[in-house]
Structure 1
């Protein structure tokens, strides 16, 4: 499936951005221009079921196939957040970026609290502004408004499709290209033990102190600082 894309900048270097579940390219509203300011041409996708892209069957391998079909291979940099991190890990051998960044990737899905699962995640489709603000107190109001806009066009069936993945270990066995794993603090997806395993497998791992799961919205400056040496 050809995906909807958004581009910032006209630099000689190419950067690819892949968002997480419930979001779309608008989640990168600050990251895209920041990378463009560093000389990148930045391309961000809307995954299937999100934003202006088409709907269909939802499985990680299909997200990856779509990204490969839509984005050019050989980019200087690729960043994937959450579901986008899982998607990037399944596409990286075909996209072949020079460097990959996996931002709090969805490589091990568990319920952060008992009773929280795909069905409850799907209910966020109708979340009011007050709930989003309460759950994300560090977000700019612009990000809260973007979240409401993206939820309005999000297919919540993408959340329901995560059921078979709950409890599955989806961590890559080794990095295909030089790779950074950037973690929230604490991360509900990658425990300290799993972070140690990733280090042993050859990944660089960095945490952004105090940041929540959507690091680039929770602490934009910390997000960018954590990418030192990778961008």
Structure 2
């Protein structure tokens, strides 16, 4: 585990990064979802290592061993990951994100089109387009089934939950409660080859929204793995196989 310090106002924000292999040689960068940390990618990290890929796994601000912060803007998460890859000397990389981490990854791909080679978006919450989207509340959340599965996962790996800044969800959720048509327009600028993965009807995020996201990206494919919101956790082998085939 490496701790980086990103300049933040008068001080510095601590960002924790786990890595393996030569990270300057086209690594796979992993970005976890809300309430997780780098350890939630252990299975995929191991599979990528076995396949000979170098890996960088980031703890987002407010998660894991990264510092809690005053600001949890969606672009803050994006800029933190951008800082990490720059600080590590990474030029080109593949990028895998889950939920809030997938949304972060997509924002990063919008600003680094020449550096992100392949992009995997697992259960990526899109910005609302209109009042119908707002009414549906398609934002990072949990339904009953996901909550139960999350509790069981926390019992075997409690550290992410213990280290998590529990003020974060209330600061992030309102950012998904405003329409952002421009976000959808900017998807057309993402030339990165992209795989959009949906967890199916068991997820709080209806698959049709992820199909719409895939359709809006110029070079993308869509895959449904019926597992709920945390596909990488609950259908780990199938998820890892899909990622490895793609990257």
If the length of structure 1 is used for normalisation, what is the TM-score? 0.79
Q: What is the total number of aligned residue pairs between the two structures?
A: 217
Kindly provide the CA deviation profile for residues 62-87 of structure 1, in whole angstroms up to 9, marking residues without a partner as x: 11111101124433411011000111
Pick the structure with more strand per residue: 2
**Contact 2:124 2:210 survives alignment (8 Å):** no
Shift of 1:173: 2.0
Shift of 1:134: 7.0
Mapped partners of 1:213, 1:206: distance in 2: 15
Task: Sort the Cα spacing of 1:54 and 1:210 in 2 relative to 1 into closer, same or farther, 3 A.
Answer: same
Pick the structure with more helix per residue: 2
Shift of 1:132: 8.9
Task: Sort the Cα spacing of 1:9 and 1:179 in 2 relative to 1 into closer, same or farther, 3 A.
Answer: same
Task: Compare 159-168 and 198-207 and name the one that shifted more.
Answer: 198-207
For residue 182 of structure 1, what is the aligned residue in structure 2? 197
Kindly provide the CA deviation profile for residues 193-230 of structure 1, in whole angstroms up to 9, marking residues without a partner as x: 55145325424233333211111001011102323541
Shift of 1:163: 1.7
Mapped partners of 2:210, 2:228: distance in 1: 18
**Contact 2:125 2:139 survives alignment (8 Å):** no
Q: What are the ranges of 5 or more consecutive residues in structure 2 without an aligned counterpart?
A: 1-5, 7-13
Mapped partners of 2:206, 2:145: distance in 1: 23
If the length of structure 2 is used for normalisation, what is the TM-score? 0.74
**Contact 1:24 1:51 survives alignment (8 Å):** yes
Task: Sort the Cα spacing of 1:167 and 1:42 in 2 relative to 1 into closer, same or farther, 3 A.
Answer: same
